[in-house]
Structure formats: C-alpha cells, structure tokens
Amino acid sequence: MSHLDTELKRLKSECIEMFDLVASQLRKAQLAMVDFDKELAHEVNFNEKRVNALELKIDKDCENIFALFNPVAIDLRFVLAVLKINSNLERVGDIADGIARYVIEAQAPFSAELMEITRLNEMFDQAISMMNDTQLAFQNENAKLARGVFQKDELLDQINGAANAAIEVVIRRNVDGITPALHIVSAIRKLERTGDQTKNVAEEIIFYLEAKVLKHLEK
C-alpha cells in the first residue's frame, strides 16, 4: 500500500467517525426533545465542539493530501467529495445543536399531542435513516444506496409542508402554547434542511464513485 493509499484510508476513517458523531447528535436531540431531557440537550450542546474540531481536522488532512500527493482521477474525486461531505455533516451537527437549544430554553415539556400532529418523531426517524443510508453508501461505495436517499427526502418535504396548518389548529385551541409550538415548527424546518444536507452528501458520493455531477440537475 502506497503512502497516498494509507492517507486516503485514514481520511475515510475520519469521515466515518464524523458520520457517527453527527448521527449520534441527531438521535440525542430527538430523545432530548421527546423526553424533555435537558441534561441530554446540554450534552448535544457540549459535543458540538467535537463536531467542529473534527471538521477542522478533516479539512486540514484533505489540504495536506492535495499539497503532498497531488491525487488524480478517483483519488482526487474522493478527496474533493470528502471536503464537501465534511462541510455538510458539520451543518447537520449545527442543526442538532439548534434543536437541543430549544429544549434547554423551554420551560415545560413539549406537548405530546403537538409532536404527534406535526409528525415530528417520524421526521426525526426519517432524517436519521437518511443519514444512516448515506454513511453506509460512503463506507461500502454503494451509489445505488446513495440514490435511494433522494426518494426518502420526499417524506421530509411532505411533513414540513403540512406543519404550518397542523400548528395553526393547535394554537387556535390554546394560545398559551404558541412558544413551544413555534419551537416544534422550527425543529421541523431544521430537519427539512437536514434532508437537504444529506442529499448533498449523497450527490458527492455519486460524484466520487461515478464521476457524475448531479448538482443543479432537474429532478
């Protein structure tokens, strides 16, 4: 194995570590919101520093590979893809941190009825499932699995699109619940953006494996 191959293998391991960390942040943000677990929300907030530090480490390692080895062909596509995947995963980490902050700021548990009406848990589950699929696609170099992520995102768009009407119905019955309702709808908006970031990751995986650029193409 060449020195370049060793560095690429290490870079892939670091990226998988980033996948694991960000997916864990999302799962903990979900549990914190559903169980109103402020301690877990603070843990997500604290671990955001780990996400940021790992992002910087991966970026630096990519730059070093460019400078020292001048990769070409599929090796070049891999490093370029990791750079963008790393950035998208860091943004998902920001989203998980933002949701956890809603729990920290809240004065009382979120309404179970409101979470059910807005399908918040379903949205969390789908976002996490998309993250898991992209990680497996990256690990196993599976472009077909990466493409499946685009279809899964449709559910996130559907739930996000129906959220306002669902929230309005509840608020009309209980005007005192406006603030927690707004936190829930904001969490939904963030999870919809998680889907967008995950689709970006899937596009980079396909670019790396097949040298196809999907960005800006019509659906």
For the chain, domain boundaries: 3-210
63 in helix, strand or coil? helix
Distance CA 117, CA 26 (A): 21
Per-residue model confidence (pLDDT) at position 215: 66
Higher per-residue confidence, 173 vs 200: 200
Each residue's pLDDT tens digit, 12-36: 999 999 999 999 999 999 999 999 9
- Per-residue b or e along 144-172, where b marks 16 or more CB atoms closer than 10 Å to that residue's CB: ebbbebbebbebbeebbeebeebbeebbe
- Global confidence as pTM: 0.92
Burial track 65-97 (b if 16+ CB lie within 10 A, e otherwise)? beeebebeeebebbbbbbbbbbbbbbbbbbbbb
Q: Render pLDDT for 98-127 as a digit per residue (tens, 0 to 9).
A: 999 999 999 899 988 889 989 999 999 999
Query: Helix H segments across the chain?
Result: 3-35, 38-69, 73-105, 112-118, 120-140, 143-173, 178-210
Q: What whole-number distance in Å separates Cα of residue 76 and Cα of residue 79?
A: 5
CATH superfamily, domain 3-210, is: Phosphate transport system protein phou homolog 2; domain 2 (1.20.58.220)
Q: Rounded distance, CA 173 to CA 175, Å?
A: 7
Looking at per-residue confidence, does 180 or 188 come out higher?
188
Average pLDDT of the segment spanning 137-149:
96
| pLDDT score, position 113 | 84
